[in-house]
Amino acid sequence: MSHLKTALFDFHKASGAKLVPFAGYEMPVQYPLGIAGEHTHVRTKAGIFDVSHMGQFSIIGDETVCKQLEQIVPIDLSLLKLNQSKYSYLMNDQGGIDDDLIVTKLEDRISIVLNAGCKHNDIKQIKTAFKQPAEFVLHDELSLIALQGPKAVSILESFIPGVSNLKFMNGGSFSFKDKSVYVTRSGYTGEDGFEVSIANELAQTFCETLLTNTDVAMIGLGARDSLRLEAGLCLYGHDLNPEISPIEADLVFGITKHRRETCDFIGGSVVKDHLTNGIKKKRVGIQPEGTIIARENAKVFKDDKEIGLVTSGGYGPSVSAAVAMGYVDFNCSEVGTSVELEVRGKKYPAKVCLLPFYKKSYAK
């Protein structure tokens, strides 16, 4: 089976990227700098991520669009200001998460960034939830390029004046090479940064322009994974899936406050039950005590009883330690609880800990 390619495919190859299949696309997992080097580069300077495999989706229509979308996305879109973004998810009728996403309110539309592996099913689910007409557009003509890291703001400002005024989780239209681009101050690395929605034809020129600044490097999916794990952020299909509710995932902030009371959305009765009567399992951070690395699917034990599973785990280059997150029985989810992780048939001590492992302040 052939894989899809982003507009930057040839550029990745020419940049020495190692390409791997990911969510139906052939994507760069690392460049010659290597995963640990790329990771550190993003934490100290600035890195470019091609996230064009993600779905850039628009819903265009009248004032009913917000209300209809709220049936399946549990936020209050009327409370969102123009150009403001919000993290939320697509609910299913089991109270589980079908995808996590970023919604942005624009003048004439709601714009949503969807995970690559979920996007086609997401669009089907959204269309099903809509009872009144609206226009749905999946923007295959656009690339999505993230610039992340402490130097991202000064670097991007030098090429796209004005972006430094954006607050975290806010966006706006700007100009690059006399073409319109939409820039949001957001990302998924735990660093300050931006995501730039740009015409496919301009994507490579944009990257090449950014790379004229020697503090900028191309970054692959490998470092993206270690960066988001250190930042305590979930990866759909690993830390989240259709059987896990937002409450179990400890992502209640993705539901607008008053909607936690009304729970008037698809799957709301399950969410209400979880909020009222509690949950059986919960997503937590897990810190191995020694140097052992527990990866996805490592079992978690407490007093020889299996109590959970690691859903993401690896080595955190910026914290110089093994880091993990996963689901454990609720009564073992308190921070500081001693647990054991099974790795290659042996058990190793670990502690339930707070997320994130690595924290940096965003531009508020």
Given the rule CB under 8 A, which residues bind another protein?
29-30, 34-37, 39, 222-223, 225-226, 291-293, 295, 314-315, 317, 322, 344
Distance in angstroms (rounded) separating the CA atoms of residues 116 and 3:
13
State the minimum distance, in angstroms, from the CB of residue 34 to another protein: 5
State the minimum distance, in angstroms, from the CB of residue 36 to another protein: 4
Instruction: Kindly tell me which of 38 and 122 has the beta carbon lying closer to another protein.
Output: 38
State the minimum distance, in angstroms, from the CB of residue 291 to another protein: 6
- Provide DSSP, 309-336: EEEEEEEETTTTEEEEEEEEEGGG-STT
User: Which of 210, 229, 25, 30 is CA-nearest to residue 120?
Assistant: 25
End-to-end CA distance of the chain: 45
Distance between alpha carbon 191 and the CA centroid of its chain, in Å?
A: 13
**Are 9 and 26 spatial neighbours (Cβ–Cβ below 8 Å)?**
yes
Distance in angstroms (rounded) separating the CA atoms of residues 296 and 353:
17
List, in sequence order, every residue forming a beta bridge with 180; answer none if it has no partner. 175
List, in sequence order, every residue forming a beta bridge with 95; answer none if it has no partner. none
Distance between alpha carbon 145 and the CA centroid of its chain, in Å?
A: 14
Instruction: Kindly tell me which of 61 and 317 has the beta carbon lying closer to another protein.
Output: 317
User: Which of 88, 101, 118 is CA-nearest to residue 246?
Assistant: 88
Instruction: Kindly tell me which of 180 and 291 has the beta carbon lying closer to another protein.
Output: 291
Instruction: Kindly tell me which of 106 and 292 has the beta carbon lying closer to another protein.
Output: 292
Instruction: Kindly tell me which of 266 and 343 has the beta carbon lying closer to another protein.
Output: 343
State the minimum distance, in angstroms, from the CB of residue 150 to another protein: 20
Instruction: Kindly tell me which of 262 and 291 has the beta carbon lying closer to another protein.
Output: 291
Longest dimension (CA), the chain: 63
State the minimum distance, in angstroms, from the CB of residue 217 to another protein: 15
Two tokens at 79? 């409370």
State the minimum distance, in angstroms, from the CB of residue 167 to another protein: 32
Instruction: Kindly tell me which of 137 and 321 has the beta carbon lying closer to another protein.
Output: 321
State the minimum distance, in angstroms, from the CB of residue 226 to another protein: 5
Instruction: Kindly tell me which of 156 and 223 has the beta carbon lying closer to another protein.
Output: 223
Distance in angstroms (rounded) separating the CA atoms of residues 219 and 223:
7
- CA 122-26-312 angle, to 5 degrees, is 65
Distance in angstroms (rounded) separating the CA atoms of residues 131 and 20:
40
State the minimum distance, in angstroms, from the CB of residue 215 to another protein: 21
State the minimum distance, in angstroms, from the CB of residue 213 to another protein: 25
CB within 8 A of 252, min separation 6: which ones? 246, 260, 275
State the minimum distance, in angstroms, from the CB of residue 316 to another protein: 9
Instruction: Kindly tell me which of 157 and 342 has the beta carbon lying closer to another protein.
Output: 342
Instruction: Kindly tell me which of 169 and 298 has the beta carbon lying closer to another protein.
Output: 298
SS (H, E, C) 126-190: HHHHCCCCCEEEECCCEEEEEEECCCHHHHHHHHCCCHHHCCCCEEEEEEECCEEEEEECCCCCC
